[in-house]
Structure 1
Amino acid sequence: MTSIFPRFLPLAALGLLLAPAAAHAQQYQPTATGLRVSTDSLMVEVQFYSPEIVRVLKQPKNVEAAKKSLVVTQAPAPGKLKYSQKNGQVTISSPTTQVVVNEKTGQVSFRTAKGQPLLSEQTLGSRFTPKKDLGAATYRVRQVFQLAPGEAVYGLGQHQDGHLNYRGQKVLMKQKSLDIALPVLHSGKGYGVLWDNYSTTNFSDAAAGTVFDSEIGDCVDYYLLNGQGTADGVVARYRQLTGQAPMFPRWTLGFWQSKERYKSQDETVGVVEKYRALGVPLDGIVQDWQYWGEDNDLWNDMAFNNPKFPNPQAMVDRVHALHAHQMISVWPSFGKKSKPYQELASKDMLFDFITWPRTPHVKVYDAFDPAARDIYWKYLNQGIFKFGMDAWWMDATEPDQLQPFDTDDDNETALGSFRRVRNAYPLVATSGVYEHQRQATADKRVFILTRSAFAGQQRYGTMVWSSDVDSRWDVLAKQIPAALNLSLTGFPYWNSDIGGFFPSGQYPKGVKDPAFQELYTRWQQFAALTPMMRSHGEYTPREIYQFGERGTWAFDSQAKFIDLRYRLQPYLYSLMWQVTSRAGTPMRALAMDFANDPKVSDMGTEYMFGPAFLVRPVTEAQYVNRPDRNVPVPPDFSKTKGVEVYLPAGASWFDFWTGKRQPGGQTVQRETPIDVMPLYVRAGSVLPLGPHQQYTGEKADAPLEIRVYPGANGEFTLYEDENDNYNYEKGAFATIKMRWDDKARQLTFDNRTGNFPGMQAARTFRVVLADEQHGTGIGADDAPAKEVKYAGQKTTVKL
């Protein structure tokens, strides 16, 4: 098997700490992309990938350890560089970034173009500890940085520990259910670090320094991402380096219904039919496992062997006829009687460790091998995709290794030991499906839901979910910082199981328990303001009609927020375009937009959703007091409860539901009846809202409501295209910039830019000025509005 990590030359008597106690100054060597510095024991190379992206590569002297990155897609493009040398230090500068290398020790530090410190290694911060891996010589690698006092750091993937700021914390970065190891550190100072290593890594921050300590590595390899002082700049540099996120289909923004599991095709289709009969919007239905049969020896056979799914083509066709779309669960593991297992086993492409379901016959395939990825897609295409399946639920892409059996890392992959590359498994697993579907058709955009991710995976059409979380209020609260830190690593798309996956331990009466209904209702409100709104869980059904009838509190609250989701579609789809075209971030920690407000630097209870919405989910029970979990009690709505909401400084804020305007920089008490989650809109926002509809595209020609929140100048760019193909990559899309001049009290629709087949040449906008007198919310159809007929040319309306 060929490795991306070529073996290196052995060194005699190599010390653990490769930094000399004393050495004479060395001459640096300029290179086409930066420079090299050789100390007595280290070779240090600095490579500029852009003026703001700098790679640092360190390895023991006389070691050949060239590495091809699985993560980085950009080639070095240094631009114009300047060199200087003084007092044993060499400085190499781009127009925006300075890198200083100590010629004696190999220590590297980074500064802005004006010489302001960004990040520095510790003097003796690079350590290589010799070890063996599958009999070959390698190292445990460690790099120590020194952060500034009070500097906040975020990112590192998704870790459900409740932390937003990781100063003073330790994090085990090892892929597993619930935790996503994504080695990107995001500093509140406006820079980031991508640690390009794929083995289990310990991150820690303490007074002694900030450490990345990886189990396997032939070199220290990391990238400094100079965001030039902004969080969005850091994310942009990360995506520039590792790949941009493609567009999802527009219908993915609708409501998704799922459970563990629908046991027949009639049940699956019946759920969609029931939603249509009730008039509750729905766009996605999910078919979870065992459609292949209930025998684990056929696990993930990628075929409808189950007799309760006798005609999968008819199932998919019926879902499509109901104007919905279908996702199906697939796994990286196979039972011994499945056809993929037999072919992969014959070619030695299966790992030998215990995974779920716990049976010796289920084995995970080597997704690091491109030939194995070809085989995986062959069966996926022949057995499922051919029916017109719309989306993939790639479960357990960590892949799942059951404790205490998760230490067998000696399995050999196509790229070396599993120990060496384990954290990158979800990256290569999703890449195989994305790339093969792109080759198969350009008419259906790839949409992959998966529970694990790695650096660069955003380029493979991936949405992650936070795994099989418990149905508890404290778990709901921890979803918020978990999602925000994943966003700060540069991964834009996240969601969670509405209501939590495991309710049985806390709510044995399930959906009939008012306490679970309250938790589910609040979780669903939160989900409406995340990148994907998806109901899922085991033990108890989650369909809206299981909670009661229209007119009951749980049903009506859920219907209200599903309706809100659909009204927000023009806003959400335009945000998706910002992700693809400008490296945007939908779920935003408040520090991204209000860096000058110290109160938000470690606030994990609220977030911005796009440029307009401040979201404060309700994460505590308020109306059901249940002293005994086995005895359901009715809710008590006799007194309206509330929560505290901090309104960030630097803006004024409108209550979305009432239109009341309040200044920022203060904490307010907001009442939270069961059908209200605190939502505030930043003054100056221009918010496009779509019609009430049952599915995406039902009323494509309906007027759009353009809601203006006065108090500051603002703008928003409305994006439109064909909704579900890749023609946008060829320029088939249109944008309309809307600009609000607060002093002149006028909204300008600029000339439309671009076009696409089927575009509305003329359309109607209903422009509404938000205020407390008329209220806002999702149903302001009766609010005073000015109707604007727009035909693509610049149009201005006075309010």
Structure 2
Amino acid sequence: MIQKVYLLSLLFCLTSLNSIAQSYEKTNLGVKTSINSTVVEIQFYSPEIVRVIKYPAGGSFEKKSLSVVKVAENTKFTIDKKDTTVSLKSQSVEAVLNLNDGSINFKTVDGKSLLNEKNSGAVFTNFDDAGSKTYSITQSFVLDKKESIYGLGILQNGKMSQRNQKVHMVQNNTWDFVTFFQSDKGYGLFWDNYSPTDFSDNPEETSFKSEVGDGIDYYFMSGKNADGVIAEMRDLTGQVPMFPKWTFGFWQSKERYKSQNETVEVVKKYRDLGVPLDGIIQDWQYWGDNYHWNGMNFLNPEFSKPQQMIDDIHNLNAHLLISIWSSFGPKTPQFQEMKAKNMLMDFQTWPQSGKETWPPDMNFPSGVQVYDAYNPEARDIYWKYLNKGLFSLGIDGWWMDSTEPDHLDFKPKDFDNKTFLGSFRKVRNAYPLMTVGGVYDHQREVSSDKRVFILTRSAFAGQQRYGANTWSGDVNSTWDMLRKQIPAGLNFSLCGIPYWNTDIGGFFAGAYNKSWNDGSGSRNSSYQELYVRWLQFGAFTPMMRSHGTDIPREIYQFGKKGETIYDAIEKTINLRYALLPYIYSNAWKITNGQSSMMRALMMDFEDDKVKDMNNEYLFGQSILVAPIINAQYTPEAVVKTNEDTGWNKKDASDKTKTVAVDFSQKKSKKVYLPAGTEWYDFWTNKKYKGGQEIDQETRIDEIPLYIKAGSVIPWGPKVQYADEKKWDNLEIRIYEGADGEFTLYEDEGDNYNYEKGKYATITFKWDDLKKTLSISEQKGTFKGMLTQRKFNVVKVSLNQKQPDKASEKLDKVVDYKGSKISIKL
């Protein structure tokens, strides 16, 4: 009898527990329940975006995201409970919650599995965060074995797909982390956490594990394809503004121009040589010594007339970016004001010494400290001095260096530094988002006449909304590093952040000099080959910018007109400018259509051979770029440095040797042409069928390029800077073989009037069967808009001259006055 009562009691308890486990609460956005002592919330932010929150029962979870700007939409969804599951379904995605273990499966509305949480994959471990009781958190998922995933930021691992990787995510000089990945199955996942995080993928599970978190917080998004996922990520974290047209020209820089005369003379030299240039960058120490680090003022006597320098550059029809940092020296007013308000963080950052010696002489500590960019008042103070000292002089944009920021001689207690939002540990990876966002927001408040342009060394999710172009940091001048830049830029773009670039020629190049800074490397044939190939790659990135230390990179350092290397550099720069109408119109597709400029081949081709391809990509949706990333004329030198040891200016033992090289020889490389279309060799117009690997003949002055059949490409005039000539006589190139379309975009170039509808578009449609080009009416208006122009329409064929030169015989010359017109070719 006692045993029977016990069994009945046990059965009653189990029944009650099961009843509790299977209960849930419907909310405005989804459902909320408690399973195995864990609260689980599923929230629809849109029909395509689902937010998942988990935290230990008995606690609470309130958070204002630093990355997410979207407010949840009023989304229609249905709830269907079956046994131990609850299914929430919108018009685009289904989330199925297991009421026994709390795991969630994501599916398409027709039941196709997209992503599964691992059973009991949520883990909370008690953690003391500088005196605050919180958790370390983990969430595990199970991916299909053949699934490819992309993203995670700028990774220097040379990989395209990030399967079977372990990545420790703490922002640094050359690795910029974004806790996001997307799958070739058409979904994306954003892990909304800013603390040091480990991403891990192996055949058993895929997980994010963060050091600090009051709860698990992530967003699942269904986009059906890569462009769709990127569109959802931008819907969630912010859209991309238009960059000024002049930012898409060629930029010259180095570490560093040491006087205002030197800076201006570089621009003058380019103008005298007739080589196009749109901007120059003034690197650090225009403020003087390290105790005045980042003073945002011209305290160096070599820059005694800054207004004259800026005016001289502008009078040469060029633009100036200037270096600003995330830290301040102790003798600056910024330091003093922030110090008094506890807005500085105490850990070792660059530069550590007040003396310019290596290694740092710590007998003379610089006292430089990083500011608390999480504090809105600190961001106000930062802008106050930036506006007064630099923006008021007419400087065109900001080179925000060390936005990760530099964190040297790391000690775990450094993460205990208090910020406005808690410990530095808790918000560490979002630092670049906060400091870059502070400059963007403040400049937008004071001016709509000049578009914000920021060149920055680090990024986090959402940074695309702040007018920032991220570069890949102080990378080495090696072929191996050049190879790694392609997948680094593509994976970054697949995070929804489209603007990216790299130091053309690599940053640390001293191994090519006879002694570390004699500049002889520019005449070293090994470096010349590397530089030309890097420049050719850089011409097909969102920003074409030459920069580095040890070896000057100006074109005239490599020889003179008529010499092979000089001519190759000039040819590449001119090619970039000819493509400006194509590039600027693609920038509008980013802003208006959530597109990407650098496109991994998996985005546009259903071809298994390109899923993990890390050495080719599309630039826009028409131009296949296959950079030459292996030495063909010289030995590949192995140069071992990193962003810290690279600053050691002692002569290295592995100096590359200068050898006599005949750069006029023809070489070859293998190129894979994706299936599903035909391709035109850009240089010869020879046509190839896709889905095959070809042996491509190469020259030192040409990068292998292929144009997709059906492409319509506008070809710009020969200019010395982006705005020198109006687009009143464009060549329109038709690559037949398929239907095609291109929309030419124009606006005022450097203000925000486009946000008010002040822009114009002309759409070209090619009907391949009828061999007819239709030119639409010009839609929209803006100040200074062309009302009539000529289009020189060319149907590209094999017997034409190289298309980088003006065609002698044009198929049609069209007088266009803004009305629709159709041309038979």
- Aligning the two structures, in what range does the TM-score lie when normalised by the shorter sequence? over 0.9
Report 1:387-426 matches (<5 A).
387-405=393-411, 408-426=414-432
The corresponding residue for 1:243 is: 238
The corresponding residue for 2:508 is: 502
The corresponding residue for 2:561 is: 550
Report 1:440-479 matches (<5 A).
440-479=446-485
What amino acid maps onto 1:599 in structure 2? K
Distance (Å, rounded) in 1 between the aligned partners of 2:259 and 2:660: 34
Tell whether the 8 Å contact from 2:153 to 2:179 is kept in structure 1 after alignment. yes
* 1:429-458 deviations in Å (ceiling 9; x for gaps): 001100010011100000000010000011
- Structure 2 residue 259 is matched with structure 1 residue 271: no
Work out the percentage of aligned pairs sharing the same amino acid. Answer: 54
What amino acid maps onto 2:332 in structure 1? S
Distance (Å, rounded) in 2 between the aligned partners of 1:626 and 1:114: 53
The corresponding residue for 1:155 is: 151
- Structure 2 residue 440 is matched with structure 1 residue 434: yes
Distance (Å, rounded) in 2 between the aligned partners of 1:351 and 1:538: 29
Identify if the C-alpha distance between structure 1 residues 22 and 583 changes in structure 2 by more than 3 Å, giving closer, same or farther: same
Q: Helix, strand or coil: the match of 2:807?
A: helix
Q: Helix, strand or coil: the match of 2:335?
A: helix
Distance (Å, rounded) in 2 between the aligned partners of 1:629 and 1:200: 37
Identify if the C-alpha distance between structure 1 residues 289 and 405 changes in structure 2 by more than 3 Å, giving closer, same or farther: farther
Report 1:277-426 matches (<5 A).
277-293=272-288, 295-359=289-353, 360=365, 361-405=367-411, 408-426=414-432
* 1:386-441 deviations in Å (ceiling 9; x for gaps): 11000100000001101345761110000000000000000000011000100111
* 1:736-784 deviations in Å (ceiling 9; x for gaps): 1110000000111111111111100111111111111104431133243
* 1:480-511 deviations in Å (ceiling 9; x for gaps): 00001001111100000110000113544411
Tell whether the 8 Å contact from 1:770 to 1:776 is kept in structure 2 after alignment. no
Identify if the C-alpha distance between structure 1 residues 573 and 406 changes in structure 2 by more than 3 Å, giving closer, same or farther: farther
The corresponding residue for 1:601 is: 611
Tell whether the 8 Å contact from 1:626 to 1:633 is kept in structure 2 after alignment. no
What amino acid maps onto 1:267 in structure 2? E
Match of 1:681 among 707, 719, 722: 707
Tell whether the 8 Å contact from 2:505 to 2:548 is kept in structure 1 after alignment. yes
1:208 CA displacement: 2.0
Match of 1:715 among 720, 738, 741: 741
Q: Helix, strand or coil: the match of 1:98?
A: strand
* 1:190-224 deviations in Å (ceiling 9; x for gaps): 10000000001100111220010000001100000
Tell whether the 8 Å contact from 1:471 to 1:506 is kept in structure 2 after alignment. no
1:289 CA displacement: 0.4
The corresponding residue for 1:70 is: 66
Match of 1:745 among 759, 764, 771: 771
Q: Helix, strand or coil: the match of 1:753?
A: coil
Q: Tell me, which stretches of 5 or more residues in structure 2 are unaligned?
A: 1-15, 354-364, 515-519, 638-653
The corresponding residue for 2:11 is: none
* 1:507-558 deviations in Å (ceiling 9; x for gaps): 4441121110110000000000000000000011110000000011111001
Report 1:53-68 matches (<5 A).
53-68=49-64
Match of 2:257 among 243, 262, 287: 262
What amino acid maps onto 1:333 in structure 2? S
Identify if the C-alpha distance between structure 1 residues 374 and 760 changes in structure 2 by more than 3 Å, giving closer, same or farther: same
Q: Helix, strand or coil: the match of 1:692?
A: coil
- TM-score with structure 2 setting the length: 0.93
* 1:591-624 deviations in Å (ceiling 9; x for gaps): 0101x20000000000000111000010111112
Match of 2:118 among 117, 122, 129: 122
The corresponding residue for 1:512 is: 523
* 1:541-584 deviations in Å (ceiling 9; x for gaps): 11000000001111100100100110000000011101111111
* 1:1-51 deviations in Å (ceiling 9; x for gaps): xxxxxxxxxxxxxxxxxxx99885322211111111221311111111110
Identify if the C-alpha distance between structure 1 residues 782 and 103 changes in structure 2 by more than 3 Å, giving closer, same or farther: same
Distance (Å, rounded) in 2 between the aligned partners of 1:521 and 1:21: 70
Identify if the C-alpha distance between structure 1 residues 196 and 626 changes in structure 2 by more than 3 Å, giving closer, same or farther: closer
* 1:62-101 deviations in Å (ceiling 9; x for gaps): 1111111011111111421111000210001101110100
Tell whether the 8 Å contact from 2:21 to 2:34 is kept in structure 1 after alignment. no
The corresponding residue for 1:7 is: none
The corresponding residue for 1:86 is: 82
How many corresponding residue pairs? 777
- Structure 2 residue 27 is matched with structure 1 residue 27: no
What amino acid maps onto 1:291 in structure 2? Y
- TM-score with structure 1 setting the length: 0.96
1:626 CA displacement: 7.7
1:135 CA displacement: 0.9
* 1:714-737 deviations in Å (ceiling 9; x for gaps): 101110000000000000001111
- Structure 2 residue 172 is matched with structure 1 residue 176: yes
What amino acid maps onto 1:136 in structure 2? S
Identify if the C-alpha distance between structure 1 residues 313 and 26 changes in structure 2 by more than 3 Å, giving closer, same or farther: same
Q: Helix, strand or coil: the match of 1:314?
A: helix
Tell whether the 8 Å contact from 2:575 to 2:804 is kept in structure 1 after alignment. yes
The corresponding residue for 2:544 is: 533
Q: Helix, strand or coil: the match of 1:120?
A: strand
Identify if the C-alpha distance between structure 1 residues 736 and 673 changes in structure 2 by more than 3 Å, giving closer, same or farther: same
- Structure 2 residue 615 is matched with structure 1 residue 616: no
Tell whether the 8 Å contact from 1:691 to 1:702 is kept in structure 2 after alignment. no
Identify if the C-alpha distance between structure 1 residues 445 and 638 changes in structure 2 by more than 3 Å, giving closer, same or farther: closer
- Structure 2 residue 778 is matched with structure 1 residue 772: no
The corresponding residue for 2:677 is: 651
* 1:629-659 deviations in Å (ceiling 9; x for gaps): 4531121346411111000000100000110
Q: Helix, strand or coil: the match of 2:345?
A: coil
The corresponding residue for 2:592 is: 581
Tell whether the 8 Å contact from 1:23 to 1:40 is kept in structure 2 after alignment. no
Tell whether the 8 Å contact from 1:37 to 1:45 is kept in structure 2 after alignment. yes
The corresponding residue for 2:753 is: 727
The corresponding residue for 2:666 is: 640
1:785 CA displacement: 3.1
The corresponding residue for 2:583 is: 572
- Structure 2 residue 191 is matched with structure 1 residue 195: yes
What amino acid maps onto 1:233 in structure 2? G
The corresponding residue for 2:651 is: none
What amino acid maps onto 1:317 in structure 2? D
1:344 CA displacement: 0.8
* 1:100-144 deviations in Å (ceiling 9; x for gaps): 001121111100011110101011100000111111110000000
Distance (Å, rounded) in 2 between the aligned partners of 1:483 and 1:528: 14
* 1:666-723 deviations in Å (ceiling 9; x for gaps): 0001111100110000000000111000011111154011101000001011100000
The corresponding residue for 2:602 is: 591
Q: Tell me, which stretches of 5 or more residues in structure 1 are unaligned?
A: 1-19
Q: Helix, strand or coil: the match of 2:567?
A: helix
Distance (Å, rounded) in 2 between the aligned partners of 1:659 and 1:386: 50
* 1:249-293 deviations in Å (ceiling 9; x for gaps): 000000000000011111101000000000000000100001001
Distance (Å, rounded) in 1 between the aligned partners of 2:408 and 2:668: 42
What amino acid maps onto 2:132 in structure 1? A
The corresponding residue for 2:645 is: none
Distance (Å, rounded) in 2 between the aligned partners of 1:506 and 1:637: 18
Distance (Å, rounded) in 2 between the aligned partners of 1:625 and 1:66: 57
Q: Helix, strand or coil: the match of 2:763?
A: strand
